[in-house]
Amino acid sequence: MQIEHGGALDRAVMHFGGPPADWIDLSTGINPEVFPLPVISTAIWNRLPDQMLLASTVEAARIYYGVGSEAGIVAAPGTQALIQILPELKTVGEVAILGPTYQEHAFSFQQAKWHVSHCASIEEISESANVAVIVNPNNPDGRITSVESLVDLARKMHGRGGFLIVDEAFADPHPETSLAAHAGMDGLIILKSFGKFFGLGGLRLGFALTSQGTAERLKLRLGPWAVSGPALVIAAHAFSDAKRLDDYTSRLKIRRKLLADVLAEVKLTEIGGTMLFSLIEFEQAHKLHDELCQKHVLTRKFAYAPHWLRFGLPLDESAASRLHKRLVLAISAVQS
Amino acid sequence: MQIEHGGALDRAVMHFGGPPADWIDLSTGINPEVFPLPVISTAIWNRLPDQMLLASTVEAARIYYGVGSEAGIVAAPGTQALIQILPELKTVGEVAILGPTYQEHAFSFQQAKWHVSHCASIEEISESANVAVIVNPNNPDGRITSVESLVDLARKMHGRGGFLIVDEAFADPHPETSLAAHAGMDGLIILKSFGKFFGLGGLRLGFALTSQGTAERLKLRLGPWAVSGPALVIAAHAFSDAKRLDDYTSRLKIRRKLLADVLAEVKLTEIGGTMLFSLIEFEQAHKLHDELCQKHVLTRKFAYAPHWLRFGLPLDESAASRLHKRLVLAISAVQS
């Protein structure tokens, strides 16, 4: 089984042709602007990433995410690397996943022989589930679950001998939704993606914020030198540069407005989203996806939701303006 | 339990003081010269590493290592990430490890509840072991096991329902020792470290060369986007640049001779090694290690072998000359 993901521009270009530079890739929720990179010294490339480097990045993450000193923080080569090993923390049981959502959570638990139950709301989580997964804000619809109900749920899952995974991949520009201040409580594992907000999906870096005990088990499972030296240096720099962060966030907001404006102009209805993507509803969303591919715009369609299309952010006004033109043509082709 | 490794310059500096730039770190087997880096485009940092990028790096690795098209190649964020998951390929059994050697193999199997038996030779491997691990050339003594006996052993282990792991972390400059041409045969898993020979320990990149079936299982276990985009680009570039590779290897040979000459001049006896490190025997090796630390030279001592000391390569003549001076002083301090 292969789960479909955004980001497969290579396959789209192979299938629909055109010079790669002409394509507008809006298929992921990754900020299209790379956060300004620091100089990476030769020693960082050469040497195994040492404990001091790791510790300084973890401490910068603690301040950036707002995590108390009692919590454990685990750095991993992408949150995906954590998703792969989370099912091993408990003996096989039942995991409830609030969906529809990012599909790798269910896949990972299935691979580990867990029983996976899909729920549409917290209330639907069965009494027999001892692990729950909630992406918050959710991908792709942007649904937000309140901090209070998540804390309650973590407590409940811990009471059942399990835990709650809150995947905050898209929470950076929505800090009010984050449970980071609660990290360290028993039964709570928060996942943080570095690459999405900071526009560094290629870097592979993510964090788990959790109890000290769970953190130690995850670190042991990942083994030594799990994260590259350049990733640690880049993250420590990005977390700590308040001025650059402010400017960077401002540009993200402008980018998000450019997308909202384009979608409004072509009368596509946003039914959800986050600062990093928009979900629209459209009768023939899959056909629109394919027409957009013909015009070298890659969006994200969903096999399970034929009326949904997810748009990532255009880099700048020029990309937004090209997107607008191509959307007008694609919608008219679909409707003709 | 924490396994001691080389590369912990941060701790040595903290303990013994001195400006980090004054230290000569010879505690690892990583080439001290970073292979010239290519330009890494913004898109590579920004986007998730796509299938086409991964495939092109894997094909470059196939040619560089000399692996036939019938074998599977798995890219991982360091061979350590592979070592962490190899015990999962079979139900718990007995693993024989030819040692003394790199300790993470035993540790990983122990963590996964395998019975670990330590052997000094292939002949000692018990009939009950269904998995064997051989580092070739071995770390730290450089012992080389012949290709023929390794192929035989892989066949035998496969016959017992298991497999042989050949860790070729230090084999790049000793291609005649490599089993890469046999990759693909049942029961054989070869590990390749990218960072050691290419001087890029911070990058975190390694490969498994094995059968298609085992490769698919390892890929599934690692999950999507396991390796960073920059690592894939850098490796594809390094594997393919024959001219640069020749010059780079020549400089490595010079560096190795500089080390051998210094050790000979101070009358330290090399009892083993590879192109990337030397193992010497010395009555009071641990005391010499500590005296060298006082003089800001970090080497690798071994708790299990009080007469051994491993030296990595000095970068250039200046480093070799400083090493020489400090060794003379340290040896004289030990012997006084």
- Alpha-carbon gap: A195 to the closest alpha carbon of chain B (Å): 8
Phi and psi of A177, rounded to 5°?
Answer: -85, -10
**Helix intervals (H) in A24-86:** 42-46, 51-65, 79-85
Q: Quote the pTM value.
A: 0.97
Contact assignment for B202 to A45 by CB distance below 8 Å: yes
Q: What is the predicted ipTM? A: 0.96
The pLDDT-based confidence of A2 (bands split at 50, 70, 90) is: low
Q: Which pLDDT value is given to residue B3?
A: 76
- A99-129 pLDDT, tens digit per residue, is 999 999 999 999 999 999 999 999 999 999 9
The closest alpha carbon to B6, from B218, B297, B206, belongs to B297
| Mean pLDDT over each residue of chain A, to the nearest integer | 97
Distance CA A262, CA A241 (A): 32
* Residues sharing a CB contact under 8 Å with residue B108, sequence separation 6 or more, in sequence order: A223, B83, B84, B86, B87
User: How confident is the model over B40-44, as a mean pLDDT?
Assistant: 97
Enumerate the residues of chain A whose CB falls inside 8 A of the CB of residue B111. 220
Q: Which two tokens stand for residue A74?
A: 């685990």
d(CA A10, CA A29): 17
Q: How far apart are CA B335 and CA B315, in angstroms?
A: 28
Closest CA in chain A for residue B10: A52
Classify residue A200 by its DSSP letter: -
B201–A46 CB contact, under 8 Å = yes
Q: Do domains B9-34+244-335 and B42-240 have the same CATH topology?
A: no
Write out chain B residues lying below 8 Å of A28, CB-based.
Answer: 47-48
pLDDT band at B250 (very low <50, low <70, confident <90, very high): very high
| pLDDT tier at A55, thresholds 50, 70, 90 | very high
Q: What is the pLDDT of residue B2?
A: 62
DSSP state of A3: -
Which tokens in the block code for residue A40? 């990476």
Which pLDDT belongs to residue A3?
A: 76
Closest partner residue to A80 (CB to CB) among B8, B25, B224 is B224
pLDDT at B132 over 80: yes
Q: What is the mean pLDDT of residues B114-124?
A: 97
A119 touches chain B (CB under 8 A): no
- CA–CA min distance A281, chain B (Å): 26
The length of chain A, given as a count of residues: 336
Give the C-alpha separation, B270 to A175, whole Å.
58
Q: Give the chain B residue nearest A231 (alpha carbons).
A: B203
In terms of Cα–Cα distance, which of B266, B283, B285 is closest to B327? B266
Residue to mutate among B3, B204, B216, with most A CBs inside 10 A, is B204
Residue whose token pair is 């013909």: A294
What is the nearest CA distance from B286 to chain A, expressed in angstroms?
A: 22
**Among B residues 273-312, those touching chain A with beta carbons less than 8 Å apart:** none
pLDDT band at A191 (very low <50, low <70, confident <90, very high): very high
Q: Which of B37, B51, B108 sits opposite A8 (nearest CB)?
A: B51
3-class secondary-structure state, position B308: strand
Residue identified by tokens 């962490």 is B84
Inter-chain residue contact A5 with B84, CB threshold 8 Å: no
Contact A12, A23 (CB under 8 A): yes
Q: Where does the pLDDT of residue A155 fall: very low under 50, low under 70, confident under 90, or very high at 90 and above?
A: very high
pLDDT confidence of residue A243: 93
Quote the DSSP letter at residue A176: G
- Contact of B147 with chain A, judged by CB distance below 8 Å, is answered with no
Question: Residue B97: beta bridge partners?
Answer: B118, B133
Q: β-strands A269-274, A277-281: how paired? A: antiparallel
Q: Give the pLDDT of residue A8.
A: 87
Alpha-carbon span A252 to A137, nearest angstrom = 17
Listed by start position, the domains of chain A span 9-34+244-335, 42-240
Nearest alpha carbon to residue A218 among A203, A231, A207 = A207
Q: What is the mean pLDDT of residues A324-329?
A: 98
Q: Judging by DSSP bridges, how do beta strands A115-119 and A94-98 pair with one another?
A: parallel
B42-240: what CATH class?
A: alpha beta
pLDDT digits (tens, 9 = 90+) for A236-293: 999 999 999 999 999 999 999 999 999 999 999 999 999 999 999 999 999 999 999 9
pLDDT (0 to 100) of residue B190? 99
Q: pLDDT tens for residues B50-104?
A: 999 999 999 999 999 999 999 999 999 999 999 999 999 999 999 999 999 999 9
Size of interface A-B (CB pairs under 8 A): 166
Whether A88 has its CB under 8 Å from any CB of chain B: the answer is no
* Cα dihedral B42→B44→B45→B47 (10° resolution): 110
For residue B328, pLDDT over 80 is answered with yes
Contact state of A226 with B51 under an 8 Å Cβ cutoff: no
Q: Do A230 and B203 touch (CB under 8 A)?
A: yes
Predicted local confidence at residue A6, as pLDDT? 78
Minimum-distance CB partner of B80 among A78, A202, A223: A223
User: Mind listing the pLDDT tens digit for each residue in A289-322?
Assistant: 999 999 999 999 999 999 999 999 999 999 999 9
Hey, what are A240's tokens?
Answer: 């700590």
When scoring B30, B48, B104, B298 by the number of chain A Cβ atoms within 10 A, the one with the most, hence best to mutate, is B48
Q: Does B108 sit within 8 Å of A202, measured CB to CB? A: no
Q: Which of B25, B50, B202 sits opposite A228 (nearest CB)?
A: B202
Q: With contact defined as beta carbons under 8 Å apart, do A176 and A205 qualify?
A: no
DSSP state of A275: T
β-strand A72-76 against B277-281: which pairing, if any? unpaired
Architecture of domain A9-34+244-335: Alpha-Beta Complex (3.90)
Contact A223 B104 (CB under 8 A): yes
Which residues of B, range 165-224, sit inside 8 Å of A by Cβ? 195, 199-204, 220-224
Residue from the list B28, B50, B220 with its beta carbon closest to the beta carbon of A48:
B28
So what's the pLDDT on residue A5? 83
Nearest to A47 among B7, B33, B221 (CB): B7
**How, if at all, do strands B300-302 and B305-312 pair?**
antiparallel
Output b/e per residue, A279-290; b: 16+ Cβ within 10 A. bbebeebbbbbb
**Mutation to test the B interface, candidates A88, A204, A218, most B Cβ within 10 Å:** A204
How far off is chain B from A267, nearest CA to CA, in Å?
Answer: 29
| Chain A hits for B200, Cβ within 8 Å | 45-46
Q: Which of A33, A88, A225, A313 to mutate to test the interface with B (most CBs of B within 10 A)?
A: A225
Is pLDDT of A12 > 60?
Answer: yes
Residues 6 or more apart whose CB falls under 8 angstroms from that of A26 comprise: A297, A298, A299, A300, A311, A312, A313, A314, A323
Q: What is the pLDDT of residue B4?
A: 79
CA distance B120 to chain A (A): 26
Q: Compute the nearest-CA separation of B228 from chain A (Å).
A: 5
Is A50–B104 a contact, with Cβ atoms under 8 angstroms apart? no
Cα–Cα distance for residue pair A16/A24, rounded to 1 Å? 13
Q: Does A38 touch chain B (CB under 8 A)?
A: no
B6 pLDDT tier (thresholds 50, 70, 90): confident
CB-CB contact of B281 with B307 (8 Å): yes
Chain B contact present for A55, CB below 8 A: no
Cα–Cα nearest to B185, from B207, B152, B145:
B152
Tell me which residue of A129, A86, A126, A125 sits closest to A109, measured CA to CA: A86
Question: What are the pLDDT digits (tens) for B170-192?
Answer: 999 999 999 999 999 999 999 99
| pLDDT one-digit tens code per residue, B235-249 | 999 999 999 999 999
Percent of chain B with pLDDT over 70: 99
